[in-house]
């Protein structure tokens, strides 16, 4: 193997990665650079230098991005002998992903199963995974491999990706990267001199060096294409491809055709190549040696081209009729039972005109891809099905389905572009187009556009499908709630819905929201309660259901919705449902004062978000930081949230959390300003729960009228719902305004029946403060002592400090609390500790947090060190960890 010239730094980085993997500290690295810059050469170098590693490899293919898990299957194929060593659940997950069994794939389980499979293969040797042309990875493989790359830090596994510098594969940007630049002039000259088979004229040499710009493949290949080419507008990769094509053109026709067959089959499987060549009448005994002699490809247990550009050069050099013949031959030799999707993919590549039968087969492949979790593949199959459809209506229907699949795959730009090609044939199709425009706008956070599109779709559907029109009105509202403000959007939706013709039906959610907006809580609460009791509401609109339960101050209803979300998410593996459920668990836990559970739920939601490469939900963190009273941490989170967004519920969450934090810190002017901002838009839930903060801050700032107005708004919301929390919080807010002692006592009585311990503690604090200010120091001590004990036990440091200061004013010193376990651990460590304390094994914890058991054990060692423990049994005995 020829030594690499001028790549000492790159080789050092790769050697460090491999050396770390040898010691069980795995990692990943993405080599990025233009075609021909030397990425594949570096992969070959590390393959040769890591002699003690087991090496497995895969390559993305520009022509195979439609097939889900194709690249992952390539990578795992050599180690599938370890499949039987996996747990049944993980074994089944991989079998489904690779089409070896039927079922719905779960990306989490597939990622974990792949991790378990690869670590099983490291029993004797460390493992090196090489992934070339990663910019062409199919979407499902890309997600799984990125998931894997972030979770091998405690494994003897090294992963090296090689990807062209392009914007199509953003997911790999999350991994450590190494840019591969052109060679320095001296190194380029040395490589050109070593590669040239004849002496080059100095002017030719100078021109090649100038044109190659340090690109090693160009330096190796341009002399073979005649040594010199006139400059043109074509890119360097295109000129290198032309060099490969020159070599192709020098071969006999049969050898050329054999290479075209090889280039058209990205699997490199000789079991397909030789039968296809036979069908095409190619004499492989003479053609294969001639093709290999060109240096373009080698035919062994796998067909390998000398460089990815050589494969694309051969494929692009083929005439259209040659490609059609080759793909038809490959389709004919592909097993329709074992690999139906690749077979139909070749059939589509081998056809040029409308074909309803082919379109129907492509649509069936889309359904299979969707069932296997390959939404990007489903979109590609549907696009081709639309292109081959003769009937305009069917073509439009399949194109719309492809747009929806593109959206599901997260490819918003492609979805938007594809939507412009839809030929609208009737009013119903126009409405569907508006719906998809709305979804695209929603994903792009253009909340006003999203709601507007949904409203236009609703108007179109009012006469065609009244039930669907009502769903569109609710979609518009939900978009406004999630990424915009309820105020304005709700008014518009209500106005539109009231003016639309009403279908005879029992009052539904839309009717309830209309009633809430026009007649107030007293009129709407009974209907809202009935609707919230129906699980069908949770199924269709879980986010809205959770928000309405909170609007009614109904913890029991919120818990029911949350439990359903968690069960549904865990049973189905649906990440959105599970993440929404976990955020609701965290929010409820903050309000009930179970900060350990809140931290656990936040950590698990972050693990799922990380598995998909998404940003975690911020608002539960805001709630927790505000309640804990950590001003420094909370301020950083508030700034982060405000930087991440400029509209929507996140802003309201920041304002509410700011008001809570500053009321705890007794910084009442800041709390008043934040509470006013939180309540002004009238958002569901947030406006209501921020009103008590406004009352308290306004009273402390001497703004009695503002407090009285906030109390009236709070009373209008909570009295009709009549829940212990709502009535209790309203009672202590009323006591602040009126100064009536019975209201303080009523607040404590109501909240004694409520699980919301932070508010019960605050009721005792406010009553104690009132008693002290009225000279009743002995009575005040009892209330303030209770408040301090509750607040300290919960971990509400700012409010506890406030209670301690009030106690000192009565002549009593508050007992200092011991450091909470949660103060020592990260959120992920809290979650792991809580799981282990309940008896979970490392493997079970790993499955929950999408980590490897070795990584969980490493976290446990940190937990033991921080807490001064030596065993899991001691962890279970900690009173405040479970």
Residue pLDDT, tens place only, 529-578: 998 888 777 777 888 888 889 999 998 889 988 998 888 877 766 677 78
Sorting pLDDT into bands at 50, 70 and 90, what band is 86?
confident
Going by C-beta distance under 8 Å and a sequence separation of 6 or more, which residues neighbour residue 522? 716, 719, 720
**DSSP H or E stretch at residue 56:** strand 54-59
pLDDT at 664: 96
Secondary structure of the chain: what % helix, strand, coil (to 5)? Answer: 70, 5, 25
Sorting pLDDT into bands at 50, 70 and 90, what band is 503?
low
Task: Give the other-Cβ count within 10 Å of 745's Cβ.
Answer: 15
State yes or no: pLDDT of 1 exceeds 80.
Answer: no
Compute the average pLDDT of residues 735-763.
95
pLDDT digits (tens, 9 = 90+) for 462-493: 777 777 788 878 877 777 665 544 455 666 77
pLDDT digits (tens, 9 = 90+) for 175-232: 899 999 988 888 888 887 776 545 566 666 776 777 677 878 777 776 665 444 434 4
CA angle, 289 then 293 then 297, to 5°: 90
% the chain with pLDDT above 70: 88
Please check whether residue 327 is in contact with residue 272, taking contact to mean a CB–CB distance below 8 angstroms: no
Instruction: Tell me how far apart the alpha carbons of residues 744 and 752 are, in angstroms, rounded to a whole number.
Output: 12
State yes or no: pLDDT of 765 exceeds 70.
Answer: yes
pLDDT at 767: 97
In whole angstroms, what separates CA 29 from the centre of its chain? 21
Going by C-beta distance under 8 Å and a sequence separation of 6 or more, which residues neighbour residue 613? 143, 146, 171, 174
Task: Give the other-Cβ count within 10 Å of 194's Cβ.
Answer: 12
pLDDT at 459: 78
For 465, half-sphere exposure in the C-beta direction (CA atoms, 13 angstrom radius) is 13
| Crossing angle of the two packed helices 139-149 and 375-387, in degrees rounded to 10 | 170
pLDDT at 850: 73
> What is residue 100's three-state secondary structure?
coil
**DSSP H or E stretch at residue 158:** strand 157-164
State yes or no: pLDDT of 104 exceeds 80.
Answer: no
Please check whether residue 164 is in contact with residue 23, taking contact to mean a CB–CB distance below 8 angstroms: no
pLDDT at 234: 45
Q: Give me 796's structure tokens.
A: 């509400």
Please check whether residue 190 is in contact with residue 167, taking contact to mean a CB–CB distance below 8 angstroms: no
pLDDT at 231: 40
Largest Cα–Cα distance of the chain, in whole Å? 107
Sorting pLDDT into bands at 50, 70 and 90, what band is 802?
very high
> What is residue 162's three-state secondary structure?
strand
CA nearest neighbour of 528 among 715, 721, 689: 721
Instruction: Tell me how far apart the alpha carbons of residues 276 and 270 are, in angstroms, rounded to a whole number.
Output: 10
Q: Round the average pLDDT of the chain to a whole number and report it.
A: 84
Instruction: Tell me how far apart the alpha carbons of residues 796 and 251 are, in angstroms, rounded to a whole number.
Output: 79
Query: How buried is 197 (Cβ within 10 angstroms: 0-12 exposed, 13-18 middle, 19+ buried)?
Result: exposed
pLDDT at 483: 53
Please check whether residue 157 is in contact with residue 79, taking contact to mean a CB–CB distance below 8 angstroms: no
pLDDT at 485: 47
More confident position, 381 or 410 = 381
pLDDT at 502: 64
- Among 261-265, 650-654, 760-764, the minimum mean pLDDT is found in 650-654
pLDDT at 322: 92
Instruction: Tell me how far apart the alpha carbons of residues 411 and 453 are, in angstroms, rounded to a whole number.
Output: 19
Please check whether residue 191 is in contact with residue 161, taking contact to mean a CB–CB distance below 8 angstroms: no
pLDDT at 167: 47
Query: How buried is 296 (Cβ within 10 angstroms: 0-12 exposed, 13-18 middle, 19+ buried)?
Result: buried
pLDDT at 750: 96
Query: How buried is 361 (Cβ within 10 angstroms: 0-12 exposed, 13-18 middle, 19+ buried)?
Result: buried
Instruction: Tell me how far apart the alpha carbons of residues 214 and 231 are, in angstroms, rounded to a whole number.
Output: 16
pLDDT at 227: 40
The residue assigned the tokens 């090693």 is: 216
pLDDT digits (tens, 9 = 90+) for 276-318: 999 999 999 999 999 999 988 989 888 888 877 888 889 889 9
- DSSP letters spanning 547-574: HHHHHTT-HHHHHHHHHHHHHHHHHH--
Please check whether residue 715 is in contact with residue 730, taking contact to mean a CB–CB distance below 8 angstroms: yes
Sorting pLDDT into bands at 50, 70 and 90, what band is 702?
very high
Compute the average pLDDT of residues 9-27.
93
Sorting pLDDT into bands at 50, 70 and 90, what band is 867?
confident
- Among 354-358, 461-465, 786-790, the minimum mean pLDDT is found in 461-465
Sorting pLDDT into bands at 50, 70 and 90, what band is 168?
very low
CA angle, 282 then 283 then 284, to 5°: 95
State yes or no: pLDDT of 52 exceeds 90.
Answer: yes
Q: Which residues of 643-667 are buried (b: 16+ CB within 10 A; e: fewer)?
A: eeeeebbbbbbbbbbbbbbbbbbeb
- Among 463-467, 564-568, 595-599, 764-768, the minimum mean pLDDT is found in 463-467
pLDDT at 228: 41
Instruction: Tell me how far apart the alpha carbons of residues 584 and 431 are, in angstroms, rounded to a whole number.
Output: 33
Going by C-beta distance under 8 Å and a sequence separation of 6 or more, which residues neighbour residue 819? none
Q: Is the alpha carbon torsion for 566, 567, 570, 574 positive or negative?
A: negative
The residue assigned the tokens 């895969």 is: 58
Compute the average pLDDT of residues 723-742.
96
Instruction: Tell me how far apart the alpha carbons of residues 155 and 147 are, in angstroms, rounded to a whole number.
Output: 14
| Crossing angle of the two packed helices 392-408 and 412-419, in degrees rounded to 10 | 160
Task: Give the other-Cβ count within 10 Å of 41's Cβ.
Answer: 22
pLDDT digits (tens, 9 = 90+) for 244-285: 888 899 999 999 999 999 988 877 888 899 999 999 999 999
CA nearest neighbour of 393 among 432, 367, 361, 358: 432
Q: Give me 631's structure tokens.
A: 């001003």
């Amino acid at each position: 193997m020829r030594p690499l010239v001028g790549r000492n730094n790159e080789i050092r980085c790769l050697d460090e990665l491999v050396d770390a993997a040898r010691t069980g500290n795995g990692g990943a690295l993405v080599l990025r650079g233009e075609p021909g810059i030397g990425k594949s050469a570096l992969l070959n170098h590390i393959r040769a230098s890591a002699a003690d590693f087991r090496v497995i490899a895969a390559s993305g293919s520009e022509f195979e991005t439609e097939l889900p898990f194709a690249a992952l299957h390539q990578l795992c194929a050599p180690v599938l002998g370890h499949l039987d060593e996996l747990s049944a659940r993980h074994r089944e997950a991989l079998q489904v992903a690779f089409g070896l069994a039927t079922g719905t794939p779960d990306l989490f389980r597939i990622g974990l199963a792949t991790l378990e499979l690869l670590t099983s293969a490291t029993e004797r040797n460390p493992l090196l995974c090489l992934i070339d042309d990663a910019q062409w990875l199919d979407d499902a493989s890309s997600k799984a491999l990125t998931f894997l790359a972030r979770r091998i830090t405690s494994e003897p596994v090294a992963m090296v990706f090689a990807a062209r510098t392009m914007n199509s594969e953003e997911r790999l940007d999350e991994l450590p990267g190494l840019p591969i630049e052109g060679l320095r002039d001296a190194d380029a000259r040395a490589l050109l001199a070593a590669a040239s088979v004849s002496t080059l004229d100095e002017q030719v040499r100078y021109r090649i060096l100038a044109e190659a710009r340090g690109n090693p493949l160009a330096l190796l290949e341009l002399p073979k294409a005649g040594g010199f080419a006139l400059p043109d507008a074509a890119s360097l990769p295109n000129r290198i491809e032309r060099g490969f094509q020159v070599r192709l053109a020098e071969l006999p026709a049969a050898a050329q055709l054999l290479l075209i067959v090889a280039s058209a089959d990205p699997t490199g499987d000789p079991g397909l190549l030789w039968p296809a060549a036979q069908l095409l009448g190619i004499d492989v005994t003479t053609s294969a040696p001639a093709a290999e002699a060109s240096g373009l490809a080698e035919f062994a247990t796998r067909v390998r081209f000398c460089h990815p550009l050589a494969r694309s050069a051969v494929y692009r050099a083929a005439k259209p009729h040659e490609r059609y013949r080759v793909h038809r031959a490959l389709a004919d030799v592909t097993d329709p039972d074992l690999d139906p999707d690749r077979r139909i993919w070749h059939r589509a590549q081998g056809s040029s005109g409308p074909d309803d039968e082919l379109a129907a087969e492509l649509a069936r492949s889309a359904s299979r891809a969707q069932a296997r979790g390959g939404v990007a593949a489903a979109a590609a199959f549907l696009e081709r099905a639309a292109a081959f459809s003769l009937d305009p209506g069917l073509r439009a229907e399949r194109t719309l389905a492809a747009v929806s699949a593109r959206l599901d795959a997260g490819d918003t730009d492609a979805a938007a572009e594809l939507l412009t090609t839809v030929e609208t044939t009737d009013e119903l199709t126009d409405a569907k187009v508006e719906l998809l425009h709305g979804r695209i706008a929603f994903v792009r956070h253009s909340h006003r556009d999203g709601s507007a599109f949904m409203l236009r779709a609703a108007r179109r559907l009012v006469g065609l499908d009244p039930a669907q029109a009502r769903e569109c009105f609710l979609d518009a509202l939900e978009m406004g709630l999630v990424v915009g403000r309820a105020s304005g959007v709700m008014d518009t939706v209500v106005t539109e819905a009231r003016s639309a013709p009403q279908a005879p039906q029992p009052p539904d959610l839309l009717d309830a929201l209309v009633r809430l907006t026009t007649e107030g809580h007293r009129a709407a609460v009974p209907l809202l309660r009935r609707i919230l009791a129906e699980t069908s509401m949770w199924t269709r609109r879980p986010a809205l259901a959770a928000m309405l339960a909170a609007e009614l101050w109904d913890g029991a209803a919120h818990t029911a919705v949350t439990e359903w979300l968690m069960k549904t998410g865990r049973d189905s593996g649906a990440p959105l449902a599970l993440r929404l459920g976990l955020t609701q668990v965290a929010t409820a836990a903050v309000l009930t004062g179970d900060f350990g559970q809140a931290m656990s739920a936040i950590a698990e939601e972050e693990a799922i978000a990380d598995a998909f490469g998404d940003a975690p939900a911020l608002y539960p963190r805001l709630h927790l930081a505000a309640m804990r009273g950590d001003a420094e941490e909370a301020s950083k989170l508030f700034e982060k949230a405000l930087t991440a967004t400029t509209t929507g519920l996140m802003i309201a969450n920041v304002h509410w959390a700011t008001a809570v934090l500053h009321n705890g810190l007794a910084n009442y002017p800041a709390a008043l300003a934040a509470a006013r901002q939180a309540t002004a838009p009238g958002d569901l839930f947030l406006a209501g729960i921020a009103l008590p903060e406004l009352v308290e801050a306004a009273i402390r700032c001497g703004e009695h009228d503002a407090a009285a107005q906030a109390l009236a708004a709070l009373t209008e919301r909570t009295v009709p719902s009549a829940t212990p929390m709502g009535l209790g919080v309203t009672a202590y807010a009323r006591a602040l305004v009126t100064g009536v002692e019975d209201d303080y006592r009523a607040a404590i009585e109501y909240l004694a029946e409520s699980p919301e311990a932070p508010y019960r503690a605050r009721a005792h604090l406010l009553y104690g403060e009132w008693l002290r200010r009225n000279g009743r120091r002995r009575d005040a001590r009892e209330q303030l002592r209770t408040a301090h004990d509750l607040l300290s036990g919960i971990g509400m440091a700012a409010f506890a400090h406030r209670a301690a200061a009030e106690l000192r004013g009565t002549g009593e010193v508050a007992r200092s609390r011991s450091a909470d376990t949660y103060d020592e651990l990260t959120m992920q460590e809290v979650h792991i500790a809580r799981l282990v304390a309940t008896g979970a094994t490392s493997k079970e914890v790993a499955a929950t947090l999408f980590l490897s058991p070795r990584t969980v054990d490493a976290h446990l060692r940190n937990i033991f060190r921080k807490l001064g423990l030596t065993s899991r049994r001691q962890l279970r005995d900690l009173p405040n960890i479970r």
